[in-house]
Amino acid sequence: MRKKSKFKMFVALAFLIAVIILIGALFLRQTPSQQAKKTVQSFYEYEQEARFAESWGLFHPLMKEKFTKGHYIQDRAHVFMNHFGVTTFSYSLSNMEKVEGWSMTKDADSIGVVYATTVVQTFKGKYGTFDLHQEVFVTEVEGDWLILWDYNK
């Protein structure tokens, strides 16, 4: 009789551990909105650190068609550091919003689902303090979350 009792306790304990692991995995799993937000945060952290090659790496392929990596690195450093005289900036994000059927340009095919946020960058430089507001879009491509900007005119 003792063997049955020990076996039942073992099964109950194994079941309890499995439930705890499953609940833990569900809590650790990020929603698409959270993953999109994390991508935007990574992008702007790279930008703050003038690591423009890394931020360019988070662009969607359509964005990479707009400018080469070398051109992007040179432009970002030139405009923000040289022209505006800033070394870094702070930023804030609005809530992520799910958008369906968005396209980067009027002529482009729509992208199924993107997550949109407004990023406000605050610069302090030789021309004073100023804010740059930009809508940023994020979508998943082959398991990676990638950045898009709006070029609709």
What local confidence, expressed as pLDDT, does residue 6 receive? Answer: 74
Check which CATH number belongs to the domain holding 118 and give it.
Answer: 3.10.450.100
Any domain includes 123? yes
The alpha carbon of 122 is separated from its chain's Cα centroid by a whole number of angstroms, namely 19
Kindly tell me if the per-residue pLDDT of 102 is higher than 90: yes
What local confidence, expressed as pLDDT, does residue 3 receive? Answer: 65
pLDDT band at 23 (very low <50, low <70, confident <90, very high): low
Any domain includes 20? no
Q: Which residue has the higher pLDDT, 88 or 143?
A: 143
Return all residues near 93 (Cβ < 8 A) that are at least 6 apart. Answer: 37, 40, 41, 117, 118, 119, 120
The share of the chain scoring above pLDDT 70, in percent, equals 91
The alpha carbon of 6 is separated from its chain's Cα centroid by a whole number of angstroms, namely 50
Q: Which regions of the chain does DSSP assign to beta strands (E)?
A: 89-93, 97-102, 111-125, 128-141, 144-149
Domain that holds residue 109: 31-149
CB atoms within 10 A of CB 77: 12
Kindly tell me if the per-residue pLDDT of 1 is higher than 60: no
Return the top range by mean pLDDT from 20-29, 77-86, 123-132.
123-132
pLDDT band at 22 (very low <50, low <70, confident <90, very high): low
Any domain includes 25? no
Per-residue pLDDT tens digits for 6-16: 777 777 777 77
CA atoms within 13 A on the CB side of 45: 6
What local confidence, expressed as pLDDT, does residue 63 receive? Answer: 96
> 13-17, 25-29, 64-68, 144-148: lowest mean pLDDT where?
25-29
| Full-model pTM | 0.80
CB atoms within 10 A of CB 138: 25
From CA 60, how far away is CA 34, in angstroms rounded? 18
Q: What total of structural domains would you count in the chain?
A: 1
Any domain includes 6? no
